[in-house]
Amino acid sequence: MLFRQLFDADSSTYSYLLADDGQAVLIDPVKDRLDDYLRLLHELGLQLHLALDSHTHADHITALGELRAATGCRSGFGRESGSACASFTFAEGDHLAFGARELIAWYTPGHTDDSYCFLLPAESGQPAKLFTGDTLLIRGSGRTDFQNGDARAQWASLQRLLALPGATEVWPGHDYRGWTRSSIAEEAAHNPRLQVADAEAYAALMANLKLPSPRLMDIAVPANRACGQAPLGS
């Protein structure tokens, strides 16, 4: 199986390319990087089968619509996203196949009410990979103060992730320091957001972060509901 972590420096977003038997999946692709994705798919001889967003992003514009137009791939959002332009929506427990492999959609609300993680199960001695979107970040977690975010719901989602085997690899949707990967065991031990006692303590911690609004939020959220293809500002 082919696996690449791709980076958009403008939004510190990680996107992921996975492929098996020539069939590729892109997770959280960024519209500004469209040409890079198309070139890489061509160079590696891959057919893009699926493009998936882990949630409706507030900090960058999705490439899902453009990728579907350019490659004929199927574009998928979580059922809760309200996107009218997806080829399909996925829900808790859905299996998303590519080649002989599949991702399993885990509904993990909290950062937004349409947040999902994608689990690539362990195979032939390789640990499982968990694509955590903005639910679990390296030594952090996605903010819960807009887009129907809910710190208590995120606490419950994080507990679910922590029940995975410790060796499960964590591949986040962003990192602002350039850290690329972690594991469930590493985050359980060292992520300060996971050291609090219960959902109430977690909600209090998240309420005190006082973060600025994302620079692109007013543009990106409506554009992403249209798969990145709506006129900006509409």
Instruction: Give dist(CA 96, CA 134) in Å, integer.
Output: 20
Does 8 engage in binding with Fe ion (CB under 5 A)? no
Instruction: Report the nearest approach of Fe ion to the CB of residue 55 (Å).
Output: 6
Strand order in the sheet with 169-172: 95-98, 101-107, 116-120, 129-133, 169-172, 182-183
Nearer to Fe ion, 20 or 59 (CB): 59
Instruction: Report the nearest approach of Fe ion to the CB of residue 65 (Å).
Output: 18
- The full DSSP string for 118-181 is EEE--BTTBPPEEEEETTSBTTB----SSTT--HHHHHHHHHHHHTS-TT-EEEESB-SS----
**Residue of 59, 46, 48 whose CA lies nearest to 14:** 59
Instruction: Report the nearest approach of Fe ion to the CB of residue 134 (Å).
Output: 4
Instruction: Report the nearest approach of Fe ion to the CB of residue 46 (Å).
Output: 26
Q: H or E segment at 223? A: helix 217-225
Instruction: Report the nearest approach of Fe ion to the CB of residue 35 (Å).
Output: 23
Quick note: the x/- pattern for Fe ion over 134-163, rule CB under 5 A, is x-----------------------------
Nearer to Fe ion, 53 or 94 (CB): 53
Which residue is closest to Fe ion by CB?
134
Nearer to Fe ion, 134 or 175 (CB): 134
Chain centroid to Cα 30, Å, comes to 11
**Residue of 171, 74, 191 whose CA lies nearest to 118:** 171
Nearer to Fe ion, 46 or 221 (CB): 221
Name residues contacting Fe ion, limited to 117-136 (CB under 5 A). Answer: 134
Instruction: Give dist(CA 149, CA 141) in Å, integer.
Output: 12
- Bridge partner list, 47: 23
Instruction: Report the nearest approach of Fe ion to the CB of residue 129 (Å).
Output: 19
Nearer to Fe ion, 66 or 134 (CB): 134
Nearer to Fe ion, 23 or 83 (CB): 83
> Interface residues with Fe ion (CB under 5 A)?
134
